[in-house]
Structure 1
């Protein structure tokens, strides 16, 4: 079921991959719920959570016996009718986040992410620090994810690596750049060391990583696709894993490619890990040369393996539901 009105090349490609492609944006929740029941759909999956264009009111009607949420919103929907949320043990460590969910957490074995690198991604460039003689940090995440807490941590990193630069995506809010310049200046960091870049095409965005030695993840809302992009472009990312699912997405991605030493558990730890990797140019150069192949060989981009894990999860959910139904019979 397709709940958007856009009809482009991506939409056309998706149509070729599925048996049935049903646009439903024009249907009311009542109409769609009746249609789902009439079709006998067993498992209904939400990909939006509490983000734009979601159909969560539909899920409140429980049109399918098994309802699952995944990917678009890394937290609980809060719906008593949502049965499961797909996740993994790094994003939601067992025993730590169950109380924050109305759903049962279903942890996929390798990770909750499946990344397809951009086919037009440029080749990985040599480590820029070897050319420029200084370290360049960057965060190309959505500016809305840049909190005052993580800004303070980044300022500490720039204080510790005195000649380093930081690249950020410019906010659409006109006054935000001036605010950030004042923020860094107030913490002893020359604002000229922080460069604000305009949004650009995906190809040009990927090319920006040619200028970056180390990526810095946001907090409390960590990156997902942006972290994957950075790794594919040979740039290691340091992340701060919090106590919520949405602050642990970077940890999930890094664990899936075998880089747990870049996962910090506290702000002090984040500073220490970022400055340590920044100060180890031989390791950075090695990571630059090997990260793409490391990602290519990891579960993160193994679509068949991921699909098999999803299929296994859905079948297990169905078996559990059938067993419960049998047990409930008099």
Structure 2
């Protein structure tokens, strides 16, 4: 299964409502525009984006004399792609790199770390994992499984250990092993808890200080927020709080295959002006994919064939 086919399969639920508008392909009437805007809002793109996209598409239809709903499908794909922010770097490709994974409980951080470690090791990168979620024994065990499967070392400490010290230790180990990619899993934090966010900020600061003195030279530290797409607009609130507290470098959006709220990816990227590095559309390692804005929107809107 190719990239687009896999992505299209994963976004099937999010695409269903748009297909009802475009597949049956009636005339572009006022009802069409109202239905389109309502559908975009219900897909959790947010009212502002939904209104702007609909207005822009309406203007385009008038200028180009587009009178069929099907004629506007490709135009919608292009316009939605414009809402995303491009990145000048990829923290998992452009090494050396230290990546701290943050987010609330249940977002999929630990699984995401394991998948990225596995893919990077398969590509020949020297990878090391840090298990800084010291509150949850299951997270440590889960990373152990991923590490053994991928042939990647996992640095861990006893449950309840200071997570900042784990980050320091993993960078010490990275120096010894010559690791070019350091992936650090952190404990889930409620974005509404100021105390927990301050503690996480300490973890980030300690990691940055230690990475600046890496044996092979300073290593950039990227803070990446993992969001469960099914949380919808609450995911946007999470992103805003984490970004304010930590200064995020980008987003990974997980579990897009289990929700009809694929539009939340646009809401987060547009509001925070942050790139999306990866998206998860399934359980397998290959289902965590590099994000391509146009391919994502094409899969979300559909290609016009009956599905």
The structure in which a higher percent of residues are helix is 2
TM-score between both structures, scaled by the size of structure 1: 0.36
Name the TM-score, length of structure 2 as normaliser. 0.38
